[in-house]
Copies of this chain bind each other. A is one copy, B any other.
């Protein structure tokens, strides 16, 4: 049986690592809609985008046609520092579940940023450095993106200014200190360092901040400081391009052992991990070569795909960014407390939104306590303490494996394990103490968010 030969962990050799990112847009018949200038409602030009983003990244953002984009040698070298990530055969979980399903997961947590975010952080930092810039600015909520960007900038000797949502800055001092250890300057947002920050503090003196406000400050800091650009860790087309490394490695590792997944599962906040994981498999499906089931898992508390609308909306709550066509709950939708900070985003990657709209992708939502129960079950047999975000995928992977147990089907399941939960122990503590609760927004709450979406001809909810 060749099955017996599959190791617990498959590591590609350095020579087998992908040398180019895969751009799934090239194989999409319906391309993702372009970003619009909210003033003119016309597609953002390269020049307009170039005021905020690096030139090379603007090209990648707008390129819907080139299927493979070579990874620069410097980025390949950095990838070798922490990649390939292991593709793990979850033998122990399978045995625990007594399922005939074969479960694999691609584990992206074995680097200090603790997640897949580093794959795009190094790319964005590299292009900024290459353009001769002094530094980059960004916002961070849960902190994984900020940590990843700090690491990448430290490696390249690039300045890194992180606006961290004030309540996270105060509640997650350890995340903040990791970023400082990597030399980043971390500012609690809203702050007195920007015009928009001062304005918000004047209007709301006691505010603990929001991601939308932090985005606004980071954008202002980039555009008002010569030699700086703004970078973003999810949602954008360029981010999904860089994250395709996850799927490309997964596919190469599976191909090496003649394994083909039936179901591919990923958690979905802005879509960076899910989009990267499924890209090369989705490419096959779009080209009519093979069928897969793709499942996006989102929190019931922030269900953009399952309860949102596919319309143009702002990417931030401050409404200063371009408009993106995506599944959205409205840029002012405030999800209730959910510890998976990385999944608390009102919108979804335009690429994934289009694929979902066109029926290539399924979506489901799960509740928090069931997610932590799955996380604990997984941790106890697979030895990895998963991030709450990642655990959304674990929950649905276990559910699918248990369905196989009922039907006797030997399906092959692949899911993305995006990161570790070391900085989420407060949430685990609440779960361990039985103090965690679920929350599903009412239809009225959802409608209140949707009503904030900008109205213009062709953009009715």
Interface size class of A (residues with CB under 8 A): 35 or more
Shortest beta-carbon distance from A229 to chain B in Å = 22
Q: Judge if A178 is at the interface, Cβ distance under 8 Å.
A: yes
Complex: chain B residue closest to A110, CB-CB: B110
Check A379 for interface membership: any CB of B closer than 8 A: yes
Interface pair B425/A177, CB less than 8 Å apart: yes
Give chain A's interface secondary structure class: helix
With A181-B385, A420-B112, A432-B181 in contact, do A81 and B8 touch (Cβ < 8 Å)? yes
- A382–B155 Cα distance when bound, in Å, is 8
Chain B residues closer than 8 Å to A8, beta-carbon distance: 14, 80-81
Candidates B13, B178, B381, B432; contact of A425 at CB < 8 Å: B178
**B428 engages A182 (CB within 8 Å):** no
The one of B92, B111, B114, B155 in contact with A155, judged by C-beta atoms closer than 8 angstroms, is B92
Question: A68 — which chain B residues lie within 8 A by C-beta?
Answer: none
Is A360 part of the binding interface, using a Cβ–Cβ cutoff of 8 Å? no
- Residues of chain B within 8 A (CB-CB) of A19 are none
Distance (whole angstroms) from the CB of A285 to the closest CB of chain B: 32
Q: Does A159 contact B (CB under 8 A)?
A: no
For residue A127, CB closer than 8 A to chain B, the reply is no
- Which A181-207 residues have C-beta < 8 A from chain B? 181-183
Which chain B residues border A174 with CB–CB below 8 Å?
A: 422, 425-426, 429
A155/B381 in contact, CB under 8 A: yes
* A178 x B423 contact (CB < 8 A): no
Distance in angstroms between the alpha carbons of A183 and B423 in the assembled complex: 19
- Contact (A384, B425) CB under 8 Å given A7-B80, A432-B177: no
- Residues B432 and A155 in contact, CB atoms below 8 Å apart: no
| Contact between chains at A432 and B180 (CB < 8 Å) | yes
* Cross-chain contact A111 with B425 (CB below 8 angstroms): no
Residue A9 at the B interface, CB < 8 A?
yes
CB-defined A-B contacts under 8 Å, sample of 6: A8-B80, A92-B155, A110-B110, A111-B384, A178-B428, A181-B376
